[in-house]
Amino acid sequence: MVDLEKTLMDLCIPLVDDKEALSVKTMSTTDEHEILLYVYANSDDVARLIGRKGAMATSIRQMISIAARDIKKRVSVKFEAY
């Protein structure tokens, strides 16, 4: 089984300046067929992860959805700044 938190962290680490401040957490949902992943970083790094017109965020979400295919669950990725 794929560790989605680690996969998401591996995708985001090269894109941020402050690698120590980056964290990825799995949150519970009411839907058993869904996994919710939050990426926490400072505001500059979150802006870089989202990208212009959300292009980078879309790409990251697509990569995670591909990684989650074997567990047959829908994965939502949210980006939060602190």
Give me the domains of the chain, ranges plus CATH numbers.
4-81 (3.30.300.20)
- pLDDT tens-digit profile of 21-77? 999 999 988 988 899 999 999 999 999 999 999 999 999 999 999 999 888 889 999
The answer to whether the beta carbons of residues 12 and 4 sit under 8 Å apart is no
Q: What is the pTM of this model?
A: 0.89
**Exposure of 8 by Cβ count < 10 A (0-12 exposed, 13-18 middle, 19+ buried)?**
buried
Q: What is the pLDDT of residue 65?
A: 94
From 66, 9, 12, 5, select the one nearest 37 (Cα to Cα).
5
Could you give the CA distance from residue 56 to residue 48 in angstroms, rounded to a whole number?
A: 8
Could you give the CA distance from residue 47 to residue 2 in angstroms, rounded to a whole number?
A: 27
From 34, 38, 65, select the one nearest 49 (Cα to Cα).
38
